[in-house]
Amino acid sequence: MISNTDWKFGAEQFVRTLPDKVFVHCSEKNMFRLTLDGVDVMGDRLAEEVLEVIQRKPNLQKISFVAHSVGGLVARYAIGRLYRPPKKENVEDSTNGTSIDDLKATIGGLEPMNFITVATPHLGSRGNKQVPFLFGVPAFEKAANLLIHWIFKRTGRHLFLNDDDEGQPPLLKRMIEDYGDCFFMSALRIFKRRVAYSNVCYDHIVGWRTSSIRRTIELPKWEDYINKEYPHIVYEEHCKACDTEQSELISTDDDSFDKLEEELVTGLSRLSWEKVDASFHTCRQRARALNDDGFVLEDVPHLTDFLPHLPSYPNPLHHSHAYAIVKQTFVGPEDAVAQNIVVHKDSPRGVHFRRAGPREKVYFMPEEVRACIVTCGGLCPGINTVIREIVCGLNYMYGVDDVLGILGGYRGFYSKNTINLTPKVVNDIHKRGGTFLCTSRGGHDTNKIVDNIQDRRINQVYIIGGDGTQRGAALIYKEVEKRGLQVAVAGIPKTIDNDIAVIDKSFGFDTAVEEAQRAINAAHVEVESVENGVGIVKLMGRYSGFIAMFATLASRDVDCCLIPESPFYLEGPGGLFEFIEQRIKENGHMVIVIAEGAGQEYVAQAMQAADERDASGNRLLLDVGLWLTQKVKDHFTKVKKMEINMKYIDPTYMIRAIPSNASDNIYCSLLAQSAVHGAMAGYTGFTVGPVNSRHAYIPIARVTEAPNTVKVTDRMWARLLASTNQPSFLNSNEMLPM
């Protein structure tokens, strides 16, 4: 329970922050036993007090109210007394001497701004578990109804709605309309904002339902976010005004009091409210989770960050037959995924990301959603599966049937190339390689793209691509935020090289490793069938050698693996030539796997090539496979005078073009559905992927800040060296460029 001292301290801090702009007055007319005189009497006293302050401070222009508990009802009564209608009903009737301010309604002559209540029993405090310390026991509530006026006098009768002033309705019912000379609702309506703070875990006197102006069925489960600045805030809702003139009251089978309470809810809901739910019982625990234990949540943006009045809706999955048997349909409000799961005792808990999955509330009505999907950059197994599952996920889970496919990458937005996507259209595209929507590199023009998103009334954008594409997605999100558009931007990371940071792996990687086995096996068969056979297989891996490393480990037919992260040299003791000679003498043949980005400095020197880049900004690689093949052949035929049979295989485009395998198909489905859940829940500017096998929403900046590369000091690379028994190439003081 907050005290008068607490309120005064808060007022002092507010004035200290804005000393030249605000004046805070703490009411002194309704203290101690005066609070028992009734809401109406206290309201009249407060109205008189406000007018006295206005007279003492003639420079005041605007007015706001912040009231706690019963004080919120008193303030509502007072503003009904202080309401001043416009002096002129119509601008056309005004004279030249009439100011614009005279044409507006006021509170005591001042412009009304904020009306904020904290734990105020707007629906009264009688029965129906509205007074928590009565435990909802009907006998206790009935007894309290009979005895309350002995304890809380006239105020108690008002709160329990059993007052009967000369046959008039209960005061709280009168206050949901303009009654007599009190303009209760007109006054409340002209405030710029109306905010109702309520305590989820109650404060023993005022229940959650009455302070948040909700019916029992409208009480929300705690929302799935953690407020870093205010950890006690567990739910926020922006409720639009309801047109109750055309709506009927919700009928009940209970006594007449239930019907009266429904009238109060319906009446107050004719105005829009910002509702903020707090749980002070959990704030210490939340603060500890964020600070004391070293817990860091790297959160993703939400549409309400820049659209604070955006309404939320119940998730359609509440009624989904697919989720009917799921024990926990929705992700918990505090669920997070740890980036590091191997920690030392007493070490900080470290970085966490918001867990992916469906939320209790969504911020889009399904019939209002127009989504689009775009694919950018190079090909990769599984793109079509992601496209299919986004379309089907939106349709089957959320009832969205308006999905556009942007053709040809980013430039397709402003080239007006689109196709309507339905579950029927995408039904079997997962069986094909490539991308159903076509792709391109470059073409990113943020303003043009967002202009067309706005023109086409698109409000969900799903972007499939690598790190460059994701950087473009971040720029689109920033522009959307700048323009204040209700557009969710979701990224699905795509790179066959598996070089996206943070996430466990990228889709298509498993398929690429599996398909690479075919090329390695073909090379092994070829060299095993001839004398002194040397096979070289070039695999993808511009900056990261993951495909080469995992394909080597999976094959067991590879004698040496060369990747960009581990420099190698050709000649001299411990060099590649020496190792090849040794293996040929031992086995009669040898297979080398090399990633396309390995040894590029050697090739560039040999060919005197300039540093060129593609439309996406990626460095154009020279063919290290052909270069190495020629170098090995020249060394052994010209220097060693030794006949060898060279076999070179480059399966790059074969691997890129195939459909995804079973493992990647499942993975793509999870990625797509997680992205759909995130966008529907209002998250934006995020990318999705597994972190320690749990799917999470990750800020785009985290996955684009640096590429994921093989760490040659880790155990996985050590396992490869142990498997192939190849030299590490790290013991020579001189790298020999050839």
For residue 600, pLDDT beyond 90: no
Rounded average pLDDT over 710-720:
92
pLDDT band at residue 226 under the 50/70/90 scheme: low
Per-residue CA distances from 1 to 6, 28, 68, 222, 375 (Å): 10, 19, 10, 22, 55
- The confidence score (pLDDT) of residue 334 equals 86
Cα dihedral 515, 518, 524, 527 in deg (nearest 10): -110
What secondary structure does DSSP assign to 536-570, as a single string? EEEE--SS--HHHHHHHHHHS--SEEE-TTS---S
Distance of CA 45 to the CA centre of its chain: 48
pLDDT for the residue 151 = 64
Residue 498: name the closest of 434, 439, 565, 561 by CA.
Answer: 565
Kindly tell me if the per-residue pLDDT of 520 is higher than 80: yes
Q: Among this protein's residues, is 497 annotated catalytic?
A: yes
Query: What confidence tens digit (pLDDT) does each residue in 527-548 have?
Result: 999 999 999 999 999 889 999 9
The residue that leads in pLDDT, 10 or 704, is 704
Q: Which residue has the higher pLDDT, 84 or 260?
A: 84
Q: Which two tokens stand for residue 37?
A: 């005189």
162 within 8 A of 141, measured Cβ to Cβ: no
pLDDT at residue 283, rounded to an integer: 41
Q: Which amino acid is at 484?
A: G
pLDDT, tens digit (0-9, with 9 covering 90-100), for 170-209? 999 999 999 999 999 999 999 999 999 988 765 445 778 8
CB 436 within 8 A of CB 429: yes
Structure tokens at 267: 């009446």
Distances (CA, A) of 116 to 40, 51, 133, 211, 269: 19, 19, 25, 12, 15
The encoded tokens of residue 81 equal 């007394």
What six digits make up the tokens of 677? 């859940």
Relative to beta strand 313-314, strand 361-362 is antiparallel
Which value, to the nearest 10 degrees, does the dihedral of the CA atoms of residues 197, 198, 204, 210 take?
110
Provide the pLDDT for residue 173: 93
d(CA 537, CA 650): 6
Percent of the chain with pLDDT over 90: 59
For 632, list phi and psi in degrees, rounded to 5. -65, -45
Coil, strand or helix at 646? strand
Report how far residue 198's alpha carbon sits from residue 204's, in angstroms, rounded to the nearest whole number: 12
Q: To the nearest whole percent, how much of the chain has pLDDT over 70? A: 83
543 near 467, Cβ under 8 Å? no
- In this prediction, residue 257 carries a pLDDT of 44
3-state secondary structure 494-534: CCCCCCCCCCCCCCCHHHHHHHHHHHHHHHHHHHHCCCCEE
The amino acid at residue 419 is I
CA distances from 208 to 220, 269, 590, 611 (A): 11, 16, 74, 66
Residues 201, 279 contacting (CB under 8 angstroms):
yes
Please, where in the chain does CATH 3.40.50.460 lie?
509-657+713-724
**CATH number attached to the domain at 509-657+713-724:** 3.40.50.460
> Per the residue annotation, which of 277, 497, 557, 559 is the catalytic one?
497
Provide the token pair at 90.
């119509």
Q: Please tell me the predicted confidence (pLDDT) of residue 6.
A: 59
- In the chain, the amino acid numbered 519 is A
In which residue ranges of the chain is CATH 3.40.50.450 found?
Answer: 361-506+660-704
The mean pLDDT value of the chain amounts to 85
Structure confidence by residue, pLDDT tens digits, 345-403: 777 888 899 999 999 999 999 999 999 999 999 999 999 999 999 999 999 999 999 99
Bridge partners, residue 297, by sequence:
352
Across residues 447-452, what is the average pLDDT? 95
**Do strands 533-539 and 645-649 pair parallel, antiparallel, or not at all (unpaired)?**
parallel
**Residue keyed to tokens 């919120």:** 72
Distance CA 180, CA 77 (A): 12
SS (H, E, C) 227-284: CCCCCCEEEEEEECCCCCCCCCCCCCCCCHHHHHHHHHHHHHCCCCEEEEEECCCCHH
Other beta carbons within 10 angstroms of residue 316's beta carbon come to 17
> pLDDT higher for 333 or 575?
575
Q: How far is CA 134 from CA 21, 80, 131, in A?
A: 44, 32, 6
Both tokens of 607, joined, read 């060919």
Q: Is the pLDDT of residue 471 over 70?
A: yes
- Kindly state the average pLDDT of the residues 38-62: 94
CA 406 to chain centroid, in Å, comes to: 23
Q: Could you tell me which of 527, 531, 530, 529 has the C-alpha nearest to residue 560?
A: 527
Distance between CA atoms of residues 299 and 540, nearest Å = 33
Length, in residues, of the chain:
738
What does DSSP assign to residue 613? B
Structure tokens at 156: 């108690």
What is the separation of C-alpha 520 from the centre of its chain, rounded to a whole number of angstroms? 42
Pairing assessment for the beta strands 560-562 and 589-595 based on DSSP bridges? parallel
Q: What is the C-alpha separation between 714 and 442, in angstroms, rounded?
A: 35
Q: Which residue is it, tokens 């000091």? A: 713
Residue 290's pLDDT band (cuts 50, 70, 90) = very low
Q: Is residue 451 helix, strand or coil?
A: helix
pLDDT of 24 higher than 70: yes
| Confidence at 154, pLDDT banded by 50, 70, 90 | confident
Q: Which are the contacts of 570, defined by CB distance < 8 A and separation ≥ 6? A: 576, 577, 602, 631, 635, 736, 738
Q: What would the two tokens of residue 218 be?
A: 């409208």
Is 89 a residue whose pLDDT tops 60? no
Q: Which CATH number is 361-506+660-704 given? A: 3.40.50.450
At which residue do the structure tokens 């048997």 appear? 325
Whether 560 and 592 have beta carbons less than 8 Å apart is answered as: yes
Residue pair 431/714 in contact by the 8 Å Cβ criterion:
no
- The answer to whether 712 and 545 have CB atoms below 8 angstroms apart is no
- Taking residues 665-669, report their average pLDDT: 96
Measure the CA angle with vertex 404, ends 478 and 375; round to 5°: 65
Sequential DSSP letters for 296-357: EE----BGGGT-TT---EE-GGGG-STTTT-S--S--TT-EEES-----TT---EEEEEEPS
